A = this chain, B = another copy of it.
Amino acid sequence: MAHGMPSQAYFPFASISGDALVPDSFSTSNSRSEGSVSWLWRLLGGSSRKEKTVPITIPKYPANSGDINLAQALQYGTATGLPQLREFIHDLVGKVYQPAYSDWTTLVHTGNTDGWSKCVNLLCNPGEMFITEDWTYPSALAGSLPYGHHPVGVPMDDQGMLPDELRKLLVEWDEVARGAKRYAISPDPLPHVMYTVPVGQNPTGVTMGLERKKAIYDICVEFDVIIVEDDPYYFLQMGEYTPKAGRAVHGQFSDPSAWLASLTIAPGARLGFFTCNPRFAERLERIGETTTQAPCGFGQSLITQLLTSWKFDGYARWLQGLAVEYVTRRDLLIDALQDEFNLQVSVGTTGSWKNCVVYIAYPKPRRGDAMSEKAALFAQSKPLFSLVPPTAGMFIWLKMLWENVPGFKEGDEETLEVQLWIKLAEAGVLVGPGRYFAHNEEQVSPVEGHFRMSFSFSSEADFKKATKILAEVVSDFFGQSA
């Protein structure tokens, strides 16, 4: 009689259930010949399409001991969540991520944004800064600013944070108080926490390779920096982009062991997990107890029942299908850009793309242009923007080449980004304005301008429509329409 729990008799559901999609709902082949119809069907005819499902049910009371049940899931629970879910996650992390230390553990949280919020509150005292990419997820920054947790950005290339820049930051930190350095924000102690999105980074879409990860890790060990990885896109890794003409149609990812599972079931479920040492996990659990407590029992029980009915192999198969979907989406959007712009493969010369293989977009004659107009366009042609095709995640990051805007002078850039963003919006295309993702707007280089385009949501028809509008509006803006 010690606990303050209501009787489960008063929970207003006798059972809940779901029609769960089968693990092989999505093809693992990138062949559009067989896949395109169903893909379009799904996207355009969404509500009318019959998905292949199996029923799962969670009763209020378990038929057998150990069964997932509402009497437990809807009750006050510990901040560690349902035991069955905990077990699944632990098994998953062991098989997939294989943490390189023996006493790792896992703990549920209510989504990665909340997870990072708990980490920064745990690891930073008020006023302490943390290290992050120059461009990053705005909600990772905004919540901790009131505690004086200011982000300090590290320049990036096509693999994310640059090791040399990170080292420079840490070595020169002592000199910060003298105000001479790039990082001269305040005379704070050396930052000891890093926030990073290593795969399919938001907003730049770039992914750290193994060597880059090792280099960053070694520096962090040397300077005693705790790395907090926010890793929502790990299973949306899709390999290199190949232009349509040279692309093979084949069954991708035939090896399931290369495509294993995360728990990003659906973003609105607000359910994720930490992987960390037991000391951190214990503190994070205490934070959970005094804030969010256990994740929602409806979501926990449905997701756990889904995963335990799919089993590990089924979940791996499901993720393989998803990954191929994202390959197709990424390819469709870049293909559409290829159709509307003259995309030239080149090596970046400045900023984030310096020394990286980039695609540089030039204007293309439009259908109906007279030959003389086409010739004129060709003669005056200057590049509009560059991009690195992402190998993971949901985003393409366009680096605008403002210097080619007629009448451009340094200092105009924010106005140019806002001006073009408004023109695009008025023409019916919404993209993410780059400065929204700056770790510190005041430190954005005066010649930079970016837009983030997402390929995760819209249909192929919308990709085509959006890139057509983009080509018209951007070419006009650069004074390069024929």
Q: What is the number of residues of chain A that contact chain B, defined by CB distance less than 8 Å?
A: 94
Tell me whether B270 and A296 are in contact (CB under 8 A): yes
The CB with the most chain B CB atoms within 10 A, among A13, A63, A71, is that of: A13
* Residues of chain A from 3 to 53 with CB closer than 8 A to chain B in the complex: 3-21, 25-26, 42-43, 46-47, 51, 53
A93-101, A165-173, A216-224, A451-459: which one contacts chain B? A451-459
Tell me whether B268 and A297 are in contact (CB under 8 A): yes
Tell me whether B318 and A294 are in contact (CB under 8 A): no
Q: How far is the CA of A411 from the CA of B456 in the complex (A)?
A: 66
A480 within 8 A of B: no
Given contacts A9-B46, A142-B286, A143-B287, A76 and B293 within 8 Å (CB-CB): no
Copies of this protein in the assembly total 2
- 4 nearest A-B pairs in the assembled complex, by CB-CB distance: A143-B290, A296-B296, A268-B297, A47-B61
Which residue in chain B gives the minimum CB-CB distance to A16? B18
A111-119, A245-253, A346-354, A375-383: which one contacts chain B? A111-119
Tell me whether A454 and B1 are in contact (CB under 8 A): yes
A175 within 8 A of B: no
Mark A385-414 against chain B: 1 for CB-CB distance below 8 A, else 0. 000000000110000000000000000000
Q: How far is the CA of A178 from the CA of B59 in the complex (A)?
A: 61
Tell me whether A15 and B18 are in contact (CB under 8 A): yes
Sample of 12 more A-B contacts, CB < 8 Å, known A5-B454, A270-B293: A1-B431, A2-B430, A4-B202, A5-B457, A9-B42, A10-B325, A12-B318, A13-B302, A74-B268, A77-B268, A111-B292, A292-B292
Contacts of A454 in B (CB 8 A): 1-5
A356 within 8 A of B: no
A-B contact pairs, 8 of them (CB 8 A): A1-B429, A10-B322, A12-B25, A16-B19, A46-B61, A73-B268, A113-B289, A140-B290
Cβ of A238 to closest chain B Cβ, rounded Å:
14
Contacts of A325 in B (CB 8 A): 7, 9-10
Cβ of A323 to closest chain B Cβ, rounded Å:
11
Task: Tell me which of B12, B270, B303, B306 contacts A266 (CB under 8 A).
Answer: B12
Contacts of A3 in B (CB 8 A): 430, 432, 454, 457
A110 within 8 A of B: yes
A334 within 8 A of B: no
Given contacts A18-B16, A20-B13, A21-B14, A296 and B298 within 8 Å (CB-CB): yes
Listed in ascending order, the chain A residues whose CB lies under 8 Å from chain B are 1-21, 25-26, 42-43, 46-47, 51, 53, 59-63, 71, 73-77, 110-111, 113-114, 117, 126, 139-140, 142-144, 147, 202, 265-271, 286-287, 289-299, 302-303, 306, 318, 322, 325, 394-395, 429-432, 452-458, 462, 466
Which residue in chain B gives the minimum CB-CB distance to A310? B12
Q: How far is the CA of A19 from the CA of B70 in the complex (A)?
A: 12
Tell me whether B299 and A297 are in contact (CB under 8 A): yes
Contacts of A303 in B (CB 8 A): 298
Contacts of A456 in B (CB 8 A): 4-7
The CB with the most chain B CB atoms within 10 A, among A71, A111, A269, A298, is that of: A298
Contacts of A5 in B (CB 8 A): 267, 454, 456-457
